Amino acid sequence: MTIADVASQPTPDTTTPRSRTASLRRYAMTAPSYFAVEYAINPWMDVTASVDADLAVRQWDELRRTYLSLGHTVDLVEPVGGLPDMVYAANGGLVVGDSAVVARFAYPQRAGEAAAYARWMAAHGFDPVHTEHVNEGQGDLLVAGSIVLAGYGFRTDRRAHDEVERAIGLPLVSLELVDPRFYHLDTALAVLDDTTIAYYPPAFGDDARARIQDLFPDAIEVASADAFVLGLNAVSDGKHVVLPAAATGFAAQLADAGFEPIGVDLSELLKGGGSVKCCTLEVYR
C-alpha cells in the first residue's frame, strides 16, 4: 500500500461507539422463596445481617421481568426448602447445546442443590453429567464464543476443568482466582459477547491475567468501586447488559463501548454474595 492509498482509506471513527447486536437467550432462574443468610461460606455473607425476604423476592422478580422485556425466555426451577442459596441458579451447572454438567458443590450446605438442578435438567431433556471433582457450574464456567473460561482457586477444582471439557466438547481456559472476595469467576469477569469480556484484573493470578490479555485484547478493565458492588456479576445478550445498578462506572464504560447497560437493584441477594449473573443460569443453544 502506498501513502496515497492509505490517505484515501476512510478515517477510522473513534468517536461513535460500535453498534452491538442482541440475540435472544434462554435462562433458568430459581425464586428466592427460601433465601436467607444462615451460614457464611464467602466473605460477603454475614449471618448477623438482616435480610428482607419479601424485598429479595421483589428484586429477583424485577430481574426476571427485565429479561422477559428484552424478549428472552426464562424457565423456572422449583425452589427447595432448606437450601437458602438455591436462588443462585448459575451454580447449578453448565448447559451447552445438548450437553449438561450438573454442579458438585464445595460446601455441604449447598450439596443438596445438585439433585434439584439435575432433576430440572432431566425434566428438560438433558442427561446431566456428574463430575468427580467440585464444579460450581456457571459460577466458574463462562462460555465465550467457542471456548469456556474456567475459574479455579476457591470453589471449582481445577481437575474438574478436564471433566467438563470432555463432557461438553469445548476447550476450557483455566484462570486462577486469588482474592477470596471474588471467589467465583462470575464475580470478577463478565462475558459481553463472543469476543468481548470485562474483568477486574486484581482478582486474577499473573498467568490468568496474561492469558486474558492475550485472548481479549479489547477487554474492559473495571475499577475497584464497581468490582466491590459485584458489578461484573452481569448478564449480556450481546447488546443489553443487565448489571447491578450500583456499578455506575462500569455502566458508563459499557455505554462507551456501544452496549446498553440496564441497572437492577439486588441489594438483598448481594448479602449472600451474589447478584445478577449468580441468579441466572444461561441455557446456551
| Residues at the site binding ligand ARG, with contacts judged by CB under 6 A | 41-42, 45, 85, 88, 90-91, 110, 139, 184, 186-187, 272-274, 278
Minimum separation from the CB atom of position 250 to ligand ARG (A): 17
- Closer residue to ligand ARG (CB): 38 or 260: 38
Minimum separation from the CB atom of position 269 to ligand ARG (A): 9
- Closer residue to ligand ARG (CB): 153 or 272: 272
The amino acid at 153: G
How far apart, in Å, are the Cα atoms of 110 and each of 7, 40, 85, 233?
62, 12, 7, 20
- Closer residue to ligand ARG (CB): 26 or 260: 26
- Closer residue to ligand ARG (CB): 20 or 157: 157
Minimum separation from the CB atom of position 190 to ligand ARG (A): 12
> Mind giving me the DSSP string for 169-189?
-S-EEEEEB--GGG-SGGGTE
Angle at alpha carbon of residue 40, lines to 234 and 81, rounded to 5°: 80
- Pairing relationship of beta strands 129-130 and 99-102 according to DSSP bridges: parallel
Minimum separation from the CB atom of position 279 to ligand ARG (A): 8
Question: Annotated catalytic sites, by residue?
Answer: 184, 278
For residue 68, the surrounding DSSP H or E stretch is: helix 53-69
For residue 166, give every residue at least 6 positions away whose Cβ sits within 8 Å of its Cβ, in sequence order, or none. Answer: none
Give the whole-angstrom CA distance, residue 179 versus residue 95: 27
Give the whole-angstrom CA distance, residue 84 versus residue 66: 23
